[in-house]
Chain A
């Protein structure tokens, strides 16, 4: 950690004033960017607190005149997402049922894969890793149709296990990359020592690598949770009535084509849909930086 203010002192007085000015400038710049990042959230929150009448007549980016929570109530439990008008509440649970197992499984598999690729290298391991990494880049639009066919053949089309399966498959590249990049920073001698101590493949993973992995697990979980919770394309394509995730409900509220638009409800629904990921970011944010520091970003 360095400090701009630690410059050699020419004149004590000058340095002191310069230091204070620099400090102010620093906070000013950080503040300006904070405004840039917060602006859309500000618009969303203020809009969600306005009445539809006020939105129709007033300035879209102004503060609400009368604060009302009606839109939030409607979004949660009253907005129409089809013929049901139960808001996003029923879909929220579907998303949880999809995201939690998918994140858990893809993280565990990523950890095991990363462990193999980094520490149990065999002939061709590099090629396998490269192929998996390249897989991260396949546009999801490409895989929709063949995936639909295979899910049908596997008998899990339209089900939550089917969606979990899809998310796990296309999350593997990134989770493997994260864990691999973390595990390569762990010295190979550790594995060797454990082998000589008599520990096997799984024992070494369980007793030595997993306890070391908390930071990278946090990083991976944040990444995967964000990706899966916010996914729309897979959610809309591989679900059926009763298994649709919250993004589909949100889309149904926001993107109705020939109906009346209730922007306040749209925004409230959007914030509700984003709450779990926001929560994850706020709570785990500290560990996120720490996890990245601990080596995940080292090539």
Chain B
């Protein structure tokens, strides 16, 4: 008996978490899939009506905008955050005297809730109140920075604020990565007379591949869940130019009492997540089996 417990203890320890995930993630996904096939409105109903909600979803121009925004926002946010994070990490790794303070400054936005920082950003980006007004008051009367109020550009303000919030975290990831690179390799390269930028591009950065992967996962997760940010900064506007699937889903489920529609949009979102995450998981697990 004790032998049985001993042998199965790992499974016993993992079981509660696994069951929880099974029920609270996958059970709920199945539930959502089911509801997406019904005409649920205010509260979920369970009479299956077919794919009507998906037809409605694909007929809604707002959903198109939301999906396009997700890809545009997601790509820009992830790429720029990574590039900026890496750049700042490299700069910060040059024996900066005030590194601790600067690092904290770069990192702190992650600690703040977007409910509030959204308001601050709204003011800063507002042409009449913020940067544009400030620069104009300095005498540059023709200065324009009106992305927030321009339907074609507003999504980029979301990108700007999102990068502000997350790039510091990515910087921390990369900084940690730089610190764990074998210094002998770098010395050797320098003795060989290889220029510094080559050392970074050919030796250090490639050796941080796992960090790119971790950063990608954290950023992708943030991109897909971005919600507070949009609500606080633009409320999805102008019009619905900055809608994202998460805000669309929320609006349908909770403002409009259209739960079936929200469920169908959730399923499409999960499909997108699946296609992004599965390759990562595959590479993770394959690496482990070596």
Contacts and interface: CB of A to CB of B under 8 A. Distances in A.
Note whether A and B contact each other (Cβ less than 8 A): yes
Interface of A: 1-8, 26-27, 29-30, 33-34, 36-41, 43-44, 47, 59-61, 109, 112-113, 116-117, 120, 122, 125-126, 128-147, 150, 169-170, 172-173, 176-177, 181, 184, 200-202, 226, 230, 232-233, 247, 250-251, 254-255, 263, 266-267, 269-270, 273-274, 277-278, 280-282, 285-286, 288-299
Given A2-B200, A109-B17, A139-B246, 18 more contacts: A2-B93, A2-B204, A7-B195, A43-B120, A59-B129, A113-B13, A120-B10, A126-B288, A131-B22, A138-B28, A141-B254, A201-B9, A230-B113, A267-B116, A273-B116, A285-B100, A297-B210, A299-B213
A169 B26 CA distance: 12
Interface of B: 6, 9-11, 13-14, 16-18, 20-29, 31-32, 43-44, 88, 91-96, 100, 102-113, 115-117, 119-121, 123-124, 129-131, 133-134, 137, 164, 168, 172-173, 175-180, 183, 186, 190, 193, 195-196, 199-200, 204, 209-211, 213-214, 217, 220-221, 224-225, 227-228, 246, 249-250, 253-254, 259, 262-263, 266, 269-270, 273-274, 277-278, 281, 284-285, 287-289
B32 A299 contact: no
B218 to A, nearest CB: 9
A112 B27 contact: no
Given A143-B24, A232-B113, A285-B107, A34 B102 contact: yes
A123 B10 CA distance: 12
Contacts of A7: 195-196
B190 A138 contact: no
Contacts of A61: 123-124, 129-131, 133-134
B281 A134 contact: yes
Contact of B180 (A125, A170, A293): A293
Contacts of B164: 36-37, 40
A289 B32 CA distance: 39
Q: Give the dominant DSSP class at A's interface.
A: helix
Contacts of B281: 130, 133-134
A274 B113 CA distance: 7
The 4 A-B pairs at the shortest CB distance, nearest first, are namely A299-B210, A270-B116, A292-B176, A120-B10
Contacts of A34: 102, 105-106
B249 A60 contact: no
Given A146-B28, A266-B119, A293 B179 contact: yes
A172 B121 CA distance: 32
Nearest to B287: A299
A193 to B, nearest CB: 17
Contact of A281 (B14, B107, B227, B274): B107
Contacts of B14: 112-113, 116-117, 125, 128
B249 A139 contact: yes
A39 B122 CA distance: 12
Nearest to B281: A130
Nearest to B117: A40
B80 to A, nearest CB: 12
A140 B250 CA distance: 10
A62 to B, nearest CB: 9
A173 B21 contact: yes
A37 B106 contact: yes
B269 A146 contact: no
A254 B116 contact: yes
21 contacts: A2-B196, A5-B94, A38-B105, A40-B124, A43-B120, A60-B123, A60-B130, A113-B17, A131-B18, A139-B225, A141-B250, A142-B249, A143-B28, A144-B253, A147-B28, A169-B20, A202-B9, A226-B110, A274-B116, A291-B176, A299-B213
A25 to B, nearest CB: 10
Given A8-B193, A266-B116, A297 B176 contact: yes
Given A40-B117, A61-B134, A299-B214, A116 B10 contact: yes
Contacts of A132: 17-18, 21
A259 to B, nearest CB: 15
Contacts of B13: 112-113, 116, 201
Nearest to A109: B17
Most B-side CB within 10 Å, residue of A113, A142, A173: A142
A143 B115 CA distance: 21
B115 A298 contact: no
Contacts of A280: 111
